[in-house]
Amino acid sequence: MPGTAKASRCSGAGSRDRDRSVAPRIPRKHVAFIQRISGGHPEWGEDKIAEELAARFGVLHSASTIRRYMVSRQSTPRGDQTWRTFIRNHDKELWACDFLTQYTALLAVAYVFVIMEIGSRRIVHVNVTTSPTLPWVKQQIREATEWGMAPRFLIHDNDGIFGQYGKRMVVEQDDDTRSYRCHLDRWLDEAMGIEGIPIPYGAPNASPHVERFVRTLREEALNHFIFLCTDHIRRVVAEYVRYYNGARPSQAIHGIQDPYPELRQPPLRDGKLVGLPVLGGIQHDYRLVA
C-alpha cells in the first residue's frame, strides 16, 4: 500500500541516520593520532594539533573535530600540571626564597630570610634582620652564590621588599627585549645571570617547597622558644638549619639533604641507639654507636 511504502521509506531514512551517528566520523587511524599527540602533550590545544597533523601527515580536520577526540584533561592546558612539570625538569638548577616573621619577647619583629635548593631540599642560605631592604636581600643572594653556586632560576613571591614596579617594565638592549615585574628580577638578570621567577599574585602554593620548610622551621624550632633578641633567633635558626641539612631525613627525597661526613659511611649493624640533642633537646639526631 502507498502508506506502507512511505512509512517504510521513512523508517529506512531514520535507520540510515542512526547508523551515521554511530559510525566513526573520521578514520580510526586519525583518532589514534589525535589521542597519541594530545596524551603526550597535554599543553597543546586543538589548533596546535590540527596544524601538526596537517603539516606532518597531510591529515586535514577542523579544530572542533580534533577537540572531540582529544584525551580528556584534569586541568586546563596552562594549569598546575605545566608548573609542576617545569619544577620537576629544572629542580637541580632552581632555588626558591621566602621571608617569615618572628616576634621577640619585647614585641620587636625580626625577618628570617631563607633560600632553598629545590632539587636537594637543602637550605643554601639563611639570615635574620629587623630591617629587610632590597640592598640587604641582594647581599644575601651574593653570599649564597659566592662560591659559584648560582642557580639558573630563583622563585620568589611578590613582597614589596623586592621593588615591585606595579606593571611589567620592558627593557630593550642589544636587539633583545625583556620584561621584569620587580627591580630584583632585573638585578638578578643583569648582575647575577639568574632568571627571577615571581609567582602569580595570591598563589603561595606556587612555591610549596620553601613554604613547607617555613612551616617545619616554626613547628620544630621557633615555636619552642621565647626569643630575647634578633641574635637569639639567628642562633636558633642556624643550629636548626645545620640539623635540617645534615641529619634530618626529608620525606620528599627519601634521604638526608647534605649528610654529615659520619653519616655518609655505611651504618653500623649493631650498636646502642643514642639521641644527640639539637636545640637543647627539642629535636634529636639519632645514631648507632659501638
Residue 5 has pLDDT above 50, yes or no: no
- 41 phi, psi to nearest 5 deg: -135, 80
- Supply the pLDDT for residue 24: 55
What local confidence, expressed as pLDDT, does residue 204 receive? 72
What are the pLDDT digits (tens) for 136-165? 999 999 999 988 889 999 999 999 999 999
User: Which pLDDT value is given to residue 143?
Assistant: 96
According to DSSP, residue 208 is labeled H
The fraction of the chain above a pLDDT of 70, given in percent, is 89
Q: How far apart are CA 186 and CA 276, in angstroms?
A: 45
**Domains of the chain by start residue, with CATH:** 2-78 (no CATH), 86-229 (3.30.420.10)
C-alpha cell at 215: 612551616
Is the pLDDT at 188 greater than 70, yes or no? yes
Q: Is the pLDDT of residue 9 over 60?
A: no
Q: Which pLDDT band holds residue 241 (cuts at 50, 70, 90)?
A: very high
Of 233, 236, 143, the residue nearest 192 (C-alpha)? 143
Neighbours of 41 (CB within 10 A): 14
Cell numbers placing 101: 616573621
Q: How does the average pLDDT of the chain come out, rounded?
A: 86
- Looking at residue 174, its pLDDT comes to 77
d(CA 221, CA 117): 21
Closest to 242 in 3D by CA, of 232, 224, 257: 257
Q: Which three cell numbers stand for residue 55?
A: 603539516
**Confidence bin at 242 (pLDDT 50/70/90):** very high
Interacting residues of 202 by C-beta distance below 8 A, sequence separation 6+: none
Mean pLDDT of 205-209: 89
What does DSSP say about strands 153-156 and 195-198: parallel, antiparallel, or unpaired? parallel
Measure the CA–CA gap between 34 and 260, rounded to whole angstroms. Answer: 51
pLDDT at 6: 46
